[in-house]
Amino acid sequence: MNRDLISSPHLRVQPSVRGVMLRVLGALLPGIAVCTGLFGPGVLLNLLWCISAAVLTEVLVMALRGRSWRVIGDGSAVLTGALLALALPPDAPWWLPVLGGLFAVALGKQVYGGIGFNPFNPAMVGYVVLLISFPVAMTAWPAPHLAWAADAVSQATALDHVRTELTQGRTLSEIQLDPGFAGHQLRGWLWVSLAYLAGGLFLLQQRTIGWQIPLGVLLGMGLMALIFWGVDSDRYASPLFHWTSGAAMLGAFFIATDPVSASTTPRGRLLFGLGVGALTWIIRSWGGYPDGFAFAVLLMNILAPTLDRYTPTRVYGTGRRPERP
């Protein structure tokens, strides 16, 4: 190419939907590898069942709508299935991820018209339907250090264990002395969180996601935890515990950052993340579920249009914000 013909403006070419989905799937690989090592091959089976169900549902619904099934090539159904699978217990029966993949795509995406039109995060829609319908199956996780052993047993997650023991009148200091809790549960979930954090930082470096939502989620969760931990450290867990337990890192970087169902303005994304983080902590501490990230995301999905309306960006070159309709 003749360099004399190269001139400004140099505009960044926006990646295709398929390119973005593939990049996010690639960023999930460290988390998938660590989860498989800690919890066993059930993680991979969940991925197989969820992704297969999500893709097949997408094909069937598109056929019913008279549209081309080749839309599955954008990779959105695959990513939805993968995110849902990583939130399910590795020892879940095969029909659980199958139903989850079906509900995620049919009820969370296609019923609204397909990709780009869904007001709610599809993976979280599928997860919440399963959690409400099958609460026992959705809360049975294998112990991280026993996942590959022949006598592996299912037990509560670190979040669920802490919540249950607190209701029995025990303090956090006493709970942390339980055999295997600090040595295996907390360390196992710490490695999972670090793996998802590494993938999330890669997405930030590649500018696939913005920094506002992940920062908002971790700040919202951390500030709430810090305040109450400072008031009563025997009743409320530290920010570090909340950041490294449950779906905190997976949710902050991979779930809450869904570009369709989240806020789109810079300030709106930050407020969206803060809301998700704060609501997650509230549900974990006082709600009926040990984690609550899925519910927090869906609740903030409802508020996303309002946040965008009241946090408009400035009109380029004018120094003023557009008038609200």
Provide Rg for the chain, Cα atoms: 21
The residue with greater pLDDT, 191 or 73, is: 191
DSSP 137-187: HHT-EE-GGGTTSTT--EE--HHHHHHHHHHTT--HHHHTTSTTIIIIIIH
Q: What does the pLDDT average to over 101-109?
A: 94
The residue with greater pLDDT, 169 or 127, is: 127
pLDDT at 151: 45
Q: What does the pLDDT average to over 18-29?
A: 92
Percentage of residues in the chain having pLDDT higher than 90: 55
Q: Provide the 3-class DSSP secondary structure of residue 256.
A: coil
pLDDT at 66: 82
Let me know: does 141 contact 157? Beta carbons within 8 Å.
Answer: yes
Instruction: Give CA separation, 246 vs 83, 145, 317, in Å.
Output: 14, 16, 44
pLDDT at 1: 43
Q: What does the pLDDT average to over 119-131?
A: 95
Paired tokens of 41? 């091959």
Range in 144-153, 166-175, 273-282 the model is least confident about: 144-153
Kindly give the residue spans of alpha helices, DSSP state H, lying in the chain. Answer: 17-39, 42-64, 76-86, 95-106, 122-133, 135-138, 158-167, 172-175, 187-205, 212-231, 239-243, 248-250, 266-286, 293-310
Nearest one of 102, 74, 101 to 85, comparing CA atoms? 101
pLDDT at 93: 93
Please give the mean pLDDT across all residues of the chain. Answer: 85
pLDDT at 54: 95
pLDDT greater than 50 at residue 67: yes
Range in 4-8, 91-95, 192-196 the model is least confident about: 4-8
DSSP classification of residue 247:
T
Q: Which of 164-173, 185-194, 240-249 has the highest mean pLDDT?
A: 240-249
Q: Tens digits of per-residue pLDDT, 26-52?
A: 999 999 999 999 888 999 999 999 999
pLDDT at 179: 64
Range in 67-81, 164-178, 202-216 the model is least confident about: 164-178
Q: Tens digits of per-residue pLDDT, 212-225?
A: 999 999 999 999 99
